[in-house]
């Protein structure tokens, strides 16, 4: 994409909390029809029939199947849950061109690699969605904090600065809250460390944030799972430090005590979790370095066990 080209159309993949939040934010800030959700025909029919609200007000979003879209999107925002990623990408493969820029707001550190492999694109801006508290249930999106997107180019993508420039220009035009981070992989590993700890622990203990705010077995499990990521980071060269560990533990301690992370919500709804993006990836990477990660192995086994009982 030439430097002078502006992002004029946005496709969103994933109609969950973040997808709806960003779709609701961008739709009134762009020309009619230029922001749309991609889904197969069956899902489009279902989504169009369901009324949506955002913080209590009606939320009107556009849903299109890949066959209905007559123009390649300039930007694709991927806001799926991990288990749905590969099949969803395969369904839109023919729609994404070599000029489409892709941003993933998904959890974990591996969605960008999967997107690059499945779509055959190098035009990826790495991203961390942070500081939001969006919840989406029964067509109702609620949030107090919209948060911000932290964006940057990984070392493998530094040769395409014009892609980041285009996203920065787009975010400025639409007033999307964002921060550019020169070391985006470090930031992604920080959030991954947080999620490996809090998401998985509260899924296993089947409880709210208050459980890990208090001293006890659950909090020790959370800290131990995070420390395994800290050690792994030193082997992988992604630079996590003791200060990062303390800072992100503090972030967990400031979360609403009565709230819950997405994996605990998945357990309550009997949905597949993102354990493969968390403990599964920890285990896979640790094996390369012959690094023991017993806490994440235990969390992985326990989460797979309750998933099997759905």
Which residues, including other chains, have CB under 8 Å from residue 54's CB and lie 6 or more apart? 20, 21, 24, 141
d(CA 298, CA 294): 6
Tens digits of residue pLDDT in 154-173: 999 999 999 999 999 999 99
Question: Binning pLDDT at 50, 70 and 90, where does residue 256 land?
Answer: confident
What pLDDT shows up at residue 157?
93
Average pLDDT of the segment spanning 274-279? 96
> Could you count the other beta carbons within 10 Å of the beta carbon of residue 87?
11
Average pLDDT of the segment spanning 79-99? 92
99, 73 in Cβ contact below 8 A?
no
What pLDDT shows up at residue 237?
93
What pLDDT shows up at residue 41?
95
Cα dihedral 179, 180, 181, 185 sign: positive
Per the prediction, the chain carries an average pLDDT of 95
pLDDT over threshold 90, residue 259: no
pLDDT over threshold 90, residue 1: no
pTM, whole model, 2 decimals?
0.92
Candidates 9, 20, 16, 23; CA nearest to 75 is: 9
Higher local confidence (pLDDT), 307 or 4: 307
Angle (CA) 121 124 125, round 5° = 175
pLDDT over threshold 70, residue 3: no
d(CA 46, CA 33): 19
Candidates 103, 99, 93; CA nearest to 12 is: 103
Lowest mean pLDDT, pick from 50-64, 120-134, 219-233: 120-134
Angle (CA) 26 158 82, round 5° = 55
Q: Does residue 190 sit in helix, strand or coil? A: helix
Angle (CA) 229 161 34, round 5° = 95
pLDDT over threshold 60, residue 47: yes
């Amino acid at each position: 994409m030439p430097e002078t080209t502006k992002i004029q159309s946005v496709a969103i993949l994933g109609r969950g909390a973040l997808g709806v939040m960003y779709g609701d934010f961008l739709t009134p800030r762009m020309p009619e029809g230029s922001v749309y959700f991609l889904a197969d025909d069956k899902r489009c029919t279902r989504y169009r029939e369901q009324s949506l609200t955002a913080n209590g007000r009606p939320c009107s979003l556009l849903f299109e199947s890949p066959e209905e879209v007559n123009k390649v999107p300039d930007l694709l925002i991927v806001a799926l849950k991990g288990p749905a990623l590969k099949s969803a990408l395969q369904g839109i493969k023919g729609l994404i061109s070599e000029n489409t820029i892709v941003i993933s707001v998904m959890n974990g550190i591996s969605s960008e690699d999967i997107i690059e492999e499945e779509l055959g694109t190098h035009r990826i801006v790495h991203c961390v969605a942070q500081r939001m508290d969006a919840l989406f249930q029964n067509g109702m999106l609620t949030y107090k904090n919209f948060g911000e997107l932290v964006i940057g180019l990984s070392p493998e993508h530094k040769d395409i600065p014009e892609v980041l420039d285009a996203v920065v220009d787009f975010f400025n035009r639409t007033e999307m809250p964002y921060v550019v981070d020169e070391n985006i992989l470090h930031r992604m590993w920080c959030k991954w460390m947080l999620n490996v700890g809090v998401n998985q622990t509260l899924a296993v203990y089947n409880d709210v944030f208050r459980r890990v705010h208090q001293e006890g077995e659950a909090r020790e499990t959370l800290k131990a799972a995070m420390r395994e990521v800290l050690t792994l980071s030193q082997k992988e060269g992604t630079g996590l430090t003791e200060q990062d560990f303390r800072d992100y533990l503090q972030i967990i301690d400031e979360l609403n005590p009565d709230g819950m992370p997405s994996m605990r919500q998945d357990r309550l709804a009997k949905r597949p979790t993102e354990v493969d993006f968390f403990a599964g990836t920890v285990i896979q990477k640790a094996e390369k370095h012959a690094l023991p990660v017993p806490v994440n192995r235990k969390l992985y086994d326990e989460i797979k066990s309750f998933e099997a009982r759905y």
